[in-house]
């Protein structure tokens, strides 16, 4: 007679040995330090909301209502890309299971031969020929694997990431193969949004100056509120 035991299935993200934090049942994967990411979010949302609150009413009336609409779409795109980059898996390589780790160690020992005691063992490198070029694959001591080409170990997240670019604190995550396109779209669209807002700020101040004179414009636009207080 076998006892029926209903155990909850352990998810892969619960067993991942890296220094990542997970939310929403494993749908969100981020690094541990998230402070700078909240700052990024605050800066983007803060400046855009100031733009929408103070400049857009004037611009919509005097120029065209398409301006705030396009700005809103661009803003939503930037936020979507930022969240996608921050919350997605950068391409973490699973660590070698014990059997594979011992298999690789035996292979390395066979390749190196006997090293006399006291001497440092030679670095663990595997040479691989890719398109008539010798590429050296380095061994990762933490993950116990030979890293594929262009993979690197992130010390902040303690994971090997495939096609590792860098760990971005602003985004709160590593940038690697699986989220590179979102990161690139984020930086591109954010630059566009910045230029867009800056252009229309200038236009707004110029238009008001033409109507009221430059000094009066500075008095009525919100930039002077801190000085009044």
Q: Which residues are catalytic, by number?
A: 168
Per the document, the length of the chain is 229
26: left (phi over 0), alpha (psi -120 to 50) or beta: left
Cα–Cα distance, 146 to 144 (Å, whole number): 7
Q: Does position 84 bind other proteins by CB under 8 A?
A: yes
E-state strands within 49-204: 92-93, 125-130, 133-140, 145-146, 152-154, 159-161, 166-168, 173-175
Q: Does position 149 bind other proteins by CB under 8 A?
A: yes
Cα–Cα distance, 213 to 229 (Å, whole number): 23
> Given the rule CB under 8 A, which of 52-60, 94-102, 112-120, 211-219 is the region that contacts other proteins?
94-102
Map the footprint of other proteins across residues 96-115, applying CB under 8 A: 99-100, 103
Using only C-alpha atoms, what is the Rg of the chain? 27
Tokens of 211: 């109507």
The nearer residue to other proteins, 126 or 207, going by C-beta atoms, is 126
Long-range CB contacts for residues 212-216, cutoff 8 Å, separation at least 24: none
Q: Does position 34 bind other proteins by CB under 8 A?
A: no
Binding other proteins (rule: CB under 8 A), the pick from 50, 76, 111, 206 is 76
The nearer residue to other proteins, 65 or 148, going by C-beta atoms, is 148
Count of residues near other proteins by CB under 8 A: 23
SS3 118: coil
The nearer residue to other proteins, 119 or 129, going by C-beta atoms, is 129
The nearer residue to other proteins, 20 or 217, going by C-beta atoms, is 20
Q: Does position 93 bind other proteins by CB under 8 A?
A: yes
Q: Does position 94 bind other proteins by CB under 8 A?
A: yes
Residues within the interface to other proteins (CB under 8 A): 76-77, 80-81, 84, 92-94, 99-100, 103, 128-131, 135, 145, 148-150, 162, 182, 185
């Amino acid at each position: 007679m076998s006892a029926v035991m209903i155990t909850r299935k352990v998810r892969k993200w619960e067993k991942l040995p890296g220094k990542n934090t997970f939310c929403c049942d494993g749908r969100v994967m981020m690094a541990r330090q998230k402070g700078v990411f909240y700052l990024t979010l605050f800066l983007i949302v803060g400046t855009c909301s100031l733009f929408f609150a103070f400049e857009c009413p004037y611009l919509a009336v005097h120029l065209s209502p398409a301006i705030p609409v396009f700005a809103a779409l661009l803003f939503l795109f930037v936020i979507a890309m930022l969240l996608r980059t921050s919350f997605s898996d950068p391409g973490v390589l699973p660590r070698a299971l014990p059997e594979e780790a011992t298999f690789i160690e035996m292979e390395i020992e066979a390749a190196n031969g006997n090293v006399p005691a006291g001497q440092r063992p030679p670095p663990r490198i595997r040479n691989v020929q890719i398109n008539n070029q010798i590429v050296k694959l380095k061994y990762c001591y933490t993950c116990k694997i030979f890293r594929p080409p262009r993979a690197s170990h992130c010390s902040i997240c303690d994971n090997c990431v495939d096609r590792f670019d860098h760990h971005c604190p602003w985004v709160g995550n590593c940038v690697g193969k699986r989220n590179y396109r979102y990161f690139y779209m984020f930086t591109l669209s954010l630059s566009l949004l910045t230029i867009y807002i800056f252009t229309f700020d200038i236009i707004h101040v110029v238009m008001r100056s033409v109507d009221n004179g430059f000094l009066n414009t500075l008095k009525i636009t919100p930039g002077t509120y801190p000085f009044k207080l």
